[in-house]
C-alpha cells in the first residue's frame, strides 16, 4: 500500500514564513445560485458534526454526507436484516479494538489455536481472517522493485526510472527543506525563550516583545507566523514537522530504496502457486499501522455500545485480511486475499489501496472475476494522486484506461470534502469518467485506530469503506439482490451534482458527470429505497 503521504512542508509551504515563496493560483468559487437548489453550509461544522459528517445529508445538514442517519431513522428503524460478512483487505487491523471486537467474523469450521488446518482451506487457525504478509512491515514501491530487478526489457522500465528520479529528488529536497525549517523553528524558539526567561511562553508575550536586536526580531517574526498558521505553540509545529520527517525518511529509506528487501514470508511473490505462507494474526505490527483499523471502523464499528463511533452498517461481521505493507502491496497477496474472502463467505470486499505499476495484474483480474462468480461486490478507492485514471494507470481496477470492464462486481470510489460547493471533491482524489463510478466522503473522516483510540484521516481509502458500509446495509436488508444489482443501485440512487467542481492537480472545473460514470454522490437513504423497490419487483 502506498500510504497517503501528504507532506506538511510540501502542501502548506512553510517556507512562506521563513524564506517567502512566490506564485499563487486563483481558484473558482461557485455562486450559491449555481449549486443546484441546495444551500451552502455557512457556519463551521461542530466537532460532533465533523466526526460523523459522512452520516449526515445534503438536504438537512448542507454537507455532502450519505444520509445514513436518515436511513436508520426513517427506513431501517428496527429492521435487523441478515448477517453479512465484510472483508477488509488492507494493512493490519486491531481486532481487539473496543469498537470492533464484538463484530468479528469467526471461522466456525476451524478449531482455534490447535495448529491444524481443520477446514482444509490451506490456512492454519484462520479464526478471524488471515495475514498474507506475516511479519513484513516496510516495502518498496512497485516501480522500485522493477528497477531493482534490472529487467530493462520491461516495457515500463524507462517510465519507472523517470518516476524514480523525480520522486527521489523531490523527497530528498523535502528532507533538506524540512530539516532546515525545523532548525530555524528550534533556533527561534530558543531565542524567544531565552529573552522571556521561560520555556512555556504565551502568544501575548511574544507579540508584546519590543527589541532592536535584528536576530531576535527575526526569531520573533518566525514565532508570530507560527501562531498565524493556527498553531497553539512552537512545540505543536515541531511535532508536525518531526512526524513529517518520519514519513519522508520512510519514503527514502524503504519505499525508494532499491536495495531494501522487506518481504519476510519465505515464499516466491512471483509464483502464484506458492501458497500457505503468512499467519493467522491480522493485528498491527506497530501502533502507527492504523490504516486497516480506521477503514474497518468506518464500515462496521459497533453501533450500540456507546463507545467511539457508529459504523455505517449494522448486523455485519468483519473478516480482517492483512495483505498491504507500508509500501506497495504484492499482486500475489492481493489476488489470494480476494479469493480467500470470496471462498469464506464475504459478500462485500473493501480494498483501500492501489499503485500505478502491477506486474501480475492478470492474477488480480482473475481473482476479481472469481469473486464475481461467488456474487461478491468489491469496493475500491480510486487513489490519491489527483489524476484522471482514464489516462493514468491505476491498479487494481476492473478496466484499464478505456478498455472494457472484466466484471460487473467492482465499484471505484472518489473522495469528497465535508464542504458542499466547488471544492467538494478532494484535491488529491483520482477521477475518471470511465474508471471512477461514484464519489463519497473521504476527508476528515473520524474512525477507530489501534489501542481503543480514534482519529480523523483523509483519502479515497476512507471514501471506499463509506460506500462499502452502504453496500453491506443493502446486502443485509435485501440479501437476494446480486452484487451487480447492488453496484447499480449505489450508482443510480446517488445525488446528482450538476454544478462544476475543481478537480486534480490541474484544478480544472468539471461537473461530476465528467469525472465519474454516475455523476453522483452516494446516498444510503435513496439506495435503500431503490433496493426495496428492486427487491419487491
Rounded CA separation 342/374 (Å):
6
Q: What is the mean pLDDT of residues 462-479?
A: 98
Give the pLDDT score at 21: 39
Q: At residue 242, does pLDDT exceed 90?
A: yes
Query: 497 with 520: CB under 8 angstroms?
Result: yes
**Among the listed ranges 42-56, 157-171, 220-234, 428-442, which one has the minimum average pLDDT value?**
42-56
For residue 168, how many other CB atoms are within 10 A of its CB?
A: 16
**Among the listed ranges 420-424, 431-435, 453-457, which one has the minimum average pLDDT value?**
420-424
Q: Three cell numbers at 232?
A: 497553539
Helix H or strand E segment including 322: strand 316-322
The closest alpha carbon to 469, from 350, 384, 366, belongs to 350
Q: At residue 195, does pLDDT exceed 90?
A: yes
pLDDT in tens, 386-395: 999 999 999 9
Helix H or strand E segment including 496: strand 495-496
Q: At residue 447, does pLDDT exceed 60?
A: yes
Q: How confident is the model at residue 326 (pLDDT cuts 50, 70, 90)?
A: very high
**Among the listed ranges 48-57, 204-213, 394-403, 483-492, which one has the minimum average pLDDT value?**
394-403
Q: At residue 13, does pLDDT exceed 90?
A: no
pLDDT in tens, 283-311: 999 999 999 999 999 999 999 999 999 99
Q: At residue 8, does pLDDT exceed 60?
A: no
Query: 458 with 428: CB under 8 angstroms?
Result: yes
Q: What is the mean pLDDT of residues 496-509?
A: 88
Q: How confident is the model at residue 22 (pLDDT cuts 50, 70, 90)?
A: very low
Rounded CA separation 15/177 (Å):
8
Rounded CA separation 490/437 (Å):
9
Give the pLDDT score at 91: 97
Q: Three cell numbers at 254?
A: 524503504
Give the pLDDT score at 130: 98
Give the pLDDT score at 6: 52
Query: 228 with 14: CB under 8 angstroms?
Result: no
Q: At residue 9, does pLDDT exceed 70?
A: no
Give the pLDDT score at 494: 95
Give the pLDDT score at 59: 82
Give the pLDDT score at 499: 86
Domain locations in the chain as residue ranges = 31-139+264-535, 157-255
Q: How confident is the model at residue 19 (pLDDT cuts 50, 70, 90)?
A: very low
Q: What is the mean pLDDT of residues 78-95?
A: 96
Q: What is the average pLDDT score of the chain?
A: 92
Rounded CA separation 141/51 (Å):
32
Answer whether 0.85 is exceeded by the pTM: yes
CATH number of 31-139+264-535: 3.40.50.200
Q: At residue 35, does pLDDT exceed 80?
A: no
Percent with pLDDT over 90 in the chain: 86
Q: What is the mean pLDDT of residues 323-347?
A: 98
Rounded CA separation 284/126 (Å):
16
Q: How confident is the model at residue 7 (pLDDT cuts 50, 70, 90)?
A: low
Q: How confident is the model at residue 28 (pLDDT cuts 50, 70, 90)?
A: very low
Q: How confident is the model at residue 402 (pLDDT cuts 50, 70, 90)?
A: confident
Amino acid at each position: 500500500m502506498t500510504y497517503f503521504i501528504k507532506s506538511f512542508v510540501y502542501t502548506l509551504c512553510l517556507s512562506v514564513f521563513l524564506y517567502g515563496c512566490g506564485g499563487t493560483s486563483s481558484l473558482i468559487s461557485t455562486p450559491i445560485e449555481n449549486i443546484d437548489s441546495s444551500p451552502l453550509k455557512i457556519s463551521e461544522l461542530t466537532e460532533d458534526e465533523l466526526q460523523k459528517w459522512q452520516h449526515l445529508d445534503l438536504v438537512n445538514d448542507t454537507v455532502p454526507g450519505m444520509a445514513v442517519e436518515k436511513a436508520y431513522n426513517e427506513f431501517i428503524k428496527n429492521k435487523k436484516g441478515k448477517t453479512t460478512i465484510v472483508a477488509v483487505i488492507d494493512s493490519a487491523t486491531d481486532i481487539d479494538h473496543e469498537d470492533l471486537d464484538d463484530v468479528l467474523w469467526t471461522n466456525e469450521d476451524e478449531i482455534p489455536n490447535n495448529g491444524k488446518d481443520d477446514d482444509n482451506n490451506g490456512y492454519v487457525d484462520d479464526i478471524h481472517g488471515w495475514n498474507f504478509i506475516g511479519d513484513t512491515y516496510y516495502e518498496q514501491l512497485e516501480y522500485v522493485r522493477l528497477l531493482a530487478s534490472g529487467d530493462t526489457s520491461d516495457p515500463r522500465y524507462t517510465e519507472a526510472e523517470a518516476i524514480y528520479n523525480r520522486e527521489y529528488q523531490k523527497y530528498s529536497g523535502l528532507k533538506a527543506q524540512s530539516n532546515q525549517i525545523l532548525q530555524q523553528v528550534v533556533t527561534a524558539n530558543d531565542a524567544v525563550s531565552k529573552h522571556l526567561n521561560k520555556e512555556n511562553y504565551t502568544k501575548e508575550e511574544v507579540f508584546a516583545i519590543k527589541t532592536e536586536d535584528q536576530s531576535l526580531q527575526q526569531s520573533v517574526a518566525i514565532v508570530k507566523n507560527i501562531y498565524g498558521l493556527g498553531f497553539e505553540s512552537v512545540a505543536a509545529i515541531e511535532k508536525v514537522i518531526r512526524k513529517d520527517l518520519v514519513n519522508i525518511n520512510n519514503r527514502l529509506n524503504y519505499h525508494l530504496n532499491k536495495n531494501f528487501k522487506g518481504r519476510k514470508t519465505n515464499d516466491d511473490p512471483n509464483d502464484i502457486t506458492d501458497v500457505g505462507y503468512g499467519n493467522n494474526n491480522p493485528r498491527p505490527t506497530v501502533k502507527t499501522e492504523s490504516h486497516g483499523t480506521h477503514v474497518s471502523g468506518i464500515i462496521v464499528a459497533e453501533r450500540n455500545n456507546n463507545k467511539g463511533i457508529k459504523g455505517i452498517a449494522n448486523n455485519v461481521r468483519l473478516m480482517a485480511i492483512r495483505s498491504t505493507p507500508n509500501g506497495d502491496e504484492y499482486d500475489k497477496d492481493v489476488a489470494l486475499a480476494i479469493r480467500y474472502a470470496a471462498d469464506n463467505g464475504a459478500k462485500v470486499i473493501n480494498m483501500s489501496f492501489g499503485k500505478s505499476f502491477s506486474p501480475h495484474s492478470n492474477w488480480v483480474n482473475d481473482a476479481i472475476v472469481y469473486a464475481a462468480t461467488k456474487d461478491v461486490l468489491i469496493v475500491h478507492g480510486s487513489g490519491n494522486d489527483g489524476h484522471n485514471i482514464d489516462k493514468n494507470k491505476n491498479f487494481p481496477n476492473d478496466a484499464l484506461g478505456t478498455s472494457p470492464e472484466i466484471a460487473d462486481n467492482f465499484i471505484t470510489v472518489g473522495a469528497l470534502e465535508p464542504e458542499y460547493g466547488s471544492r467538494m471533491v478532494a484535491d488529491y482524489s483520482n477521477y475518471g469518467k470511465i474508471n471512477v463510478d461514484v464519489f463519497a466522503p473521504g476527508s476528515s473522516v473520524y474512525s477507530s485506530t489501534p489501542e481503543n483510540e480514534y482519529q480523523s484521516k483523509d483519502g479515497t481509502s476512507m471514501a471506499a469503506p463509506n460506500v462499502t458500509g452502504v453496500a453491506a446495509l443493502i446486502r443485509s436488508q435485501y440479501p437476494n439482490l446480486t452484487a451487480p444489482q447492488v453496484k447499480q443501485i449505489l450508482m443510480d440512487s446517488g445525488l446528482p451534482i450538476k454544478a462544476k467542481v475543481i478537480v486534480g492537480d490541474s484544478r480544472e472545473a468539471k461537473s461530476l458527470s465528467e469525472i465519474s460514470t454516475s455523476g453522483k454522490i452516494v446516498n444510503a437513504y435513496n439506495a435503500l429505497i431503490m433496493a426495496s423497490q428492486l427487491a419487491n419487483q
